[in-house]
Each structure stands twice: as C-alpha cells, then as structure tokens.
Chain A
Amino acid sequence: MIYWNASTMSALTHSALRARGIMTSIPTDAGVATGRPNGGGADTATAVYHVNDREGRVSPHGEDLPGREILSRAGFSTEKYELFEIVNGKTGPEIPADTIHPVKPGDHFRATIRGTDYSSARA
C-alpha cells in the first residue's frame, strides 16, 4: 500500500507523463518558457496553465480565451469534453465553449467527458 500527497510526485512520474505527451515540462511554477502552444505559431515566450494534467500555454501576462480555446490549447476537443473552473479545490462552474474566460499562468481547470449518464447503470 502506497500513500502520497501533492508534494511527493517523483521525477519518474513526470517522465512517464511526458512520454505519453501529457506533460511537456515540469509545472513547478507559472514560469515563462519559450515555446509554441501545441507546436503551432511563432516561437514566442509563453507560460503554462493546466487542464487536468495537460498543459496549455498562454501569454506571460495572461489572455482572455473562450472555453473551446482553453480546452484546445491543452489538447482537448470541445466536442468531447466539458470545461470547469476549480474553486477552492473543487469543481466549480462550467465554462461554456463560447464564453470568454481570463486565463493566467499557473491556472488550473478541469475537463470531464461529455455525455456521461449518471442516471443509468451499466450491468
């Protein structure tokens, strides 16, 4: 039996996630990096936010983005996933695809699989 808390992530954990394209750099802070969001666009200074455990990139000063763009920059499709704020560590209000939301470096969001039917049992 193994216990963890948020402070005990190992370097191996990061390596495993990077290997699957989930984490492209270690999110030690909201620091600025030079890179291109998801491989596109010009080589500019960007900073990291997270949707679940995937990285998205924004301007170091933050950006106002529609929900679909917040998802897209982290590699999620609007068709399949719903986006939520995190409030006090818990899932907060939904951010609809067309709603503009401020995104700052270091922000975290949650994405859930759309269309999960919580009222139906699966035998």
Chain B
Amino acid sequence: MSRQLVKEHAARLARPGALVRCVDEGETVVVVMEPFVPARSEAYKPSSLEALAFIVPVTYPDAEPDPTGFYVKPATIRLVDGDRPPNSATATPLLGEQWMKFSWKRKTFQWDPNVDTLETHLATIENRFRRGD
C-alpha cells in the first residue's frame, strides 16, 4: 500500500531490548531489528545476534514480505557444534554489509493481506529458530 504503512507496522514489532529501524531500498523497505535473540538461543554461536533483517515491498500488505527468506548478522553465525545452520548462505550482501541468509518456502498456505502483517512474518521467522538448527 505504501512505504509509510510498512514503517508503521514495523514500529509495532516490539521485542524486549530490541530496536527496529527501516531503510528505504529501491521499491522495498528493509526492516532491521537490533539485536535479535532467537528462540533456543543456546543452540547458536553467538546466542544473541547483532541483527535480523527482512525485505518488504512497498506494495505491502497486498504483496508479502520477501518470501525467499530473511537475513541475520553476524554472517558467521554457527550452531554450537560448529556447523553452518541448514539452508543458510553466508556472505549475502544487504545494505552494503555481509549477512547470512536463511532461505525458506511457504508450501501449504500463502500470504493473506487481510490477516497477515509484519508481525505474522516475524513470528514465522522466530519459529525457524525454535528448531535449534
């Protein structure tokens, strides 16, 4: 709908101790949460991440946030056993920095602009880290 709506909804993504900022990037807005503490944080090194980011098109909410995945810093995040988390790619550029991108795919249900919001998107991102891998 508008860049401003993205920013207003991003402002409601309250998480303890975290700040949210938005960066205009072409026809998208990059929503950045700093820091980001994942669920089951003990499964990751470091356990508290510098930042989480995801890309939202300015046509939100009719268009969904980037359905291919999301980004975290540091790009060197590892599981406690030293392995790289599954389905992640290191050194992915975003906002002039290197991030680790986690990829995913919605298989069963698709984005519904009448119900889903950035909060739904963030909650689904957070659910990724409940796996602990």
On chain B, the residues within 8 Å of A122 by CB distance are 67-69, 103-105
Q: Please tell me the number of chain B residues within 8 Å of chain A, measured between CB atoms.
A: 51
User: Quick one: which of A5, A13, A90, A114 contacts B8, CB cutoff 8 A?
Assistant: A13
Q: Using a CB-CB cutoff of 8 Å, which residues 44-63 of chain A contact chain B?
A: 52-54
Q: Please tell me the number of chain A residues within 8 Å of chain B, measured between CB atoms.
A: 43
- Could you tell me the distance between the alpha carbons of A6 and B18 in the complex, rounded to whole angstroms? 9
- Could you tell me the distance between the alpha carbons of A78 and B38 in the complex, rounded to whole angstroms? 25
On chain A, the residues within 8 Å of B39 by CB distance are 90-92
The answer on a CB contact under 8 Å between B131 and A4 is no
CB distance from B34 to the nearest CB of A (A): 9
* Beta-carbon nearest neighbor of B131 in chain A: A118
Given contacts A80-B109, A118-B87, A122-B103, contact A53 B119 (CB under 8 A): yes
- Could you tell me the distance between the alpha carbons of A9 and B104 in the complex, rounded to whole angstroms? 30
